[in-house]
A and B are shown apart, each in its own frame.
Chain A
Amino acid sequence: GENVEQHPSTLSVQEGDSAVIKCTYSDSASNYFPWYKQELGKGPQLIIDIRSNVGEKKDQRIAVTLNKTAKHFSLHITETQPEDSAVYFCAARVFNKFYFGSGTKLNVKP
């Protein structure tokens, strides 16, 4: 089955700086790559996604890039704010099953 690896496991940045989280996947049949933000005590919240036929997608301060050849995709958060502090998960969809990375705990220091 699909294997999704996510790095780093923890990331600490200063408010206003950028944060980048990277994921790799193994199954070339993966066609959809969502990113989730999970705050303490809550369920994962979909924040941005990208399909396999698109290389980049942006939504205000967050963006996702996809390199199908290398089988990796990344989440970019610019101008980070304290409320961005949370655990972020990447995922890959293969035949309607979603495989998740192990998560990145992002800490934005004010």
Chain B
Amino acid sequence: DAGVIQSPRHEVTEMGQEVTLRCKPISGHNSLFWYRQTMMRGLELLIYFNNNVPIDDSGMPEDRFSAKMPNASFSTLKIQPSEPRDSAVYFCASSFSGTLSYEQYFGPGTRLTVT
């Protein structure tokens, strides 16, 4: 398996622009997580899906952030409008939520810079 795939790997945009980050989870995994990593706040969970349904979005900073999972193999995280404080590395991770397996695997991340 290719692992969790994220695109783009790097994104530079201007304040006010819309940004869309993409994720393809590991095939067969039914849980998908979006994290944000910064030096100040470490790894923060933004939202997670189980069986394509958003379960907990309490970590989403504000209404400018939205996430979707239209099917089991694709998810997006959108920021509109973007702000300089959104600059961070965004990770997608997936796992199989079951009693026998809890392992969560991360993608390579998208480094977002908002100028």
Contact = CB atoms under 8 A, between A and B. Distances in A.
Interface residues of B, number: 21
B103 A34 contact: yes
Given A44-B91, A97-B48, A100-B42, A32 B102 contact: yes
Contacts, number: 47
A89 B103 contact: no
B42 A96 contact: no
Contacts of B106: 36, 43-46
B55 A96 contact: yes
Q: Report whether over half of chain A's contact residues are helix, strand or loop; otherwise say mixed.
A: strand
B20 interface: no
B14 interface: no
Contacts of A96: 31, 48, 50, 55, 97
A48 to B, nearest CB: 11
B56 to A, nearest CB: 6
Contacts of A34: 102-104
A100 B108 CA distance: 17
B25 interface: no
Contacts of A100: 42-43
Contacts of B97: 96
B34 interface: no
Contacts of A32: 102
B114 interface: no
Interface of A: 31-32, 34, 36, 42-46, 49, 51, 89, 93, 96-103
Given A42-B108, A45-B106, A103-B42, 18 more contacts: A32-B102, A34-B102, A34-B104, A36-B106, A43-B4, A43-B93, A43-B107, A43-B108, A44-B91, A46-B103, A46-B105, A49-B102, A89-B43, A93-B102, A96-B55, A97-B56, A100-B42, A102-B42
Interface of B: 4, 31, 33, 42-43, 45, 48, 50, 55-56, 91, 93, 97, 102-109
